[in-house]
Amino acid sequence: MTAAPLVAEAAEAILQAVGVTKRIPLHGRDRGRAVHALNGVDLTLRRGQILALVGESGSGKSTLARLLALGDTPTDGEIRFAGKQVRPGRRADRRAHFGRVQMVLQDPFSSLNNLHRVRYILSRPLRNFGRTSPAEIEGRILELLERVNLTPATDFIDKFPHELSGGQRQRIAIARALAAEPVVLLGDEPVSMLDVSIRLDILNLLAELRDRDGLAMLYITHDIASARYFADEISVMYAGHIVESGPAEQVTQEPKHPYTKLLLAASPNPDRLTVGTEAEDVDVDVDEKDLAEPPNLLAEPVGCPFAHRCPDAAPVCSATAPPTHSFAAGQLARCWLYDS
């Protein structure tokens, strides 16, 4: 059963995954087998909105981001930009896409080259995307630094990455992404490697970019509490399936899928982003084993992949793929519980 649109005619759809499946073939001893990384995924990023993609390790979040960035080809399904299919195999599509869709990665320590100053790091994408005069490039670099709140910009332009804190480095990584003047930012866990005390600052900066520049944003995270605080919509991913999606408020206040309920129970403290200790960052008060046993991604998906961990599982759940149910306000859940 295919999912209905994520939200009823909200903002303009910019970047979409439509029925996207990804099989990753294995080598060596597992030759001939494949990881079922994504299974018929639908996702829509809209202008001026942040969509949080939440799910545990291995659920397929980065694989989906890679496909949305045209870094890889789907096994089945389409990536669409402004309603039109784009393909990584086409040079013209790739070139146009790289200017419009930029990624911000998890680790600001490995993503910036320590041998180069900020000026050089930010000048490269500016040159690649058509700015040529040195004066224009210098002016634009200063503007970018101000835009990510590294002020006064002249204090930062000649720094090396190793002279900056983790939060400042992530701001440079964001400025580098903005240099291409994209309309979409794909953030793959953009704050998870930063000190808890500065995560909120970076999330606020991203929210500012959404508000001021109307960027569409994908915010990948393990942390549904930060998604609740930060995102307009949430899609919850489990074993390569979107199991629930909808407005952030709705999904976190009235979760429908048992997996979403477990994630929320494991992450009960919405103030977590504002506190400063690592200890509080890992407060989990559900039975750890509820969330511990991973699904088998090598087997062809049959039934619901969450069935073996689900407190509400019925015999049908492990036998037949669940239908997708629509609730009020565009909330969707892929679950047998709501079959009537």
Partner that binds at residue 187, options ligand ATP, Mg ion, none, CB closer than 5 to 8 Å by kind = none
| Binding-residue pattern over the window 151 to 190 for ligand ATP, x denoting contact by CB under 6 A | ----------------------------------------
The secondary structure element, H or E, covering residue 273 is none
Lookup: tokens for 250: 């709705």
Residue 127 Cβ, how far from ligand ATP at the closest point, in Å? 31
Of 10-18, 53-61, 204-212, 304-312: span binding Mg ion (CB under 5 A):
53-61
CA distance 226 to 204: 11
**Closest separation in Å from C-beta 65 to ligand ATP:** 8
# of chain residues touching Mg ion (CB under 5 A): 2
Q: Are 254 and 264 in contact (CB under 8 A)?
A: no
Residue among 232, 254, 230, 257 nearest 311 (CA): 257
Tell which one of 10, 11, 18, 24 touches ligand ATP (CB under 6 A). Answer: 24
Min separation Cβ 58 and ligand ATP, Å? 4
- By the rule CB under 6 A, 60 interacts with ligand ATP: yes
> What are 333's strand-pairing partners?
244, 325
Q: Give the residue with the Cβ less far from ligand ATP, 152 or 294.
A: 294
User: Which structure tokens are listed for 43?
Assistant: 């996702």
**Residue 57 engages ligand ATP in binding (rule: CB under 6 A):** yes
Tokens 């808890």 -> residue:
196
Nearer to Mg ion, 56 or 325 (CB): 56
59 contributes a contact to ligand ATP by CB under 6 A: yes
Tell me which residue has its CB nearest to Mg ion: 62
Within 256-315, the residues that bind ligand ATP by CB under 6 A are: 297
Window 76 to 95, contacts with Mg ion (CB under 5 A): none
Long-range contacts of 112-116 (CB under 8 A, 24+ apart): 112/161, 112/169, 112/172, 112/173, 112/176, 113/161, 114/160, 114/161, 114/162, 115/160, 116/160, 116/161
User: Quick check: 62 binds Mg ion (CB under 5 A)?
Assistant: yes
How many residues are recorded in the chain? 340
CB of 242 to Mg ion, least distance (A): 16
Closer residue to Mg ion (CB): 59 or 168: 59
Chain Cα centroid distance, residue 308: 26
Closest distance of CB 189 from ligand ATP, Å: 7
Q: Which residue is listed with tokens 């080809």? A: 73
Q: Among 268, 118, 274, which Cα is nearest to 195's?
A: 274
What is the three-class DSSP state of 320?
coil
329: left (phi over 0), alpha (psi -120 to 50) or beta: left
DSSP reduced 3-state for 193:
coil
Is 37 near ligand ATP (CB under 6 A)?
Answer: yes
From ligand ATP, Mg ion, none, which one binds at residue 337 (CB under 5 to 8 Å depending on kind)?
none
Cα–Cα nearest to 33, from 25, 41, 42, 23: 25
> Is the CB of 57 or the CB of 154 nearer to ligand ATP?
57
In the complex, the smallest distance separating the C-beta of residue 108 from ligand ATP, rounded to whole angstroms, is 16
Residues near Mg ion (CB under 5 A) are 61-62
Residues that bind ligand ATP in the complex, under the rule CB under 6 A: 24, 35, 37, 55, 57-63, 297
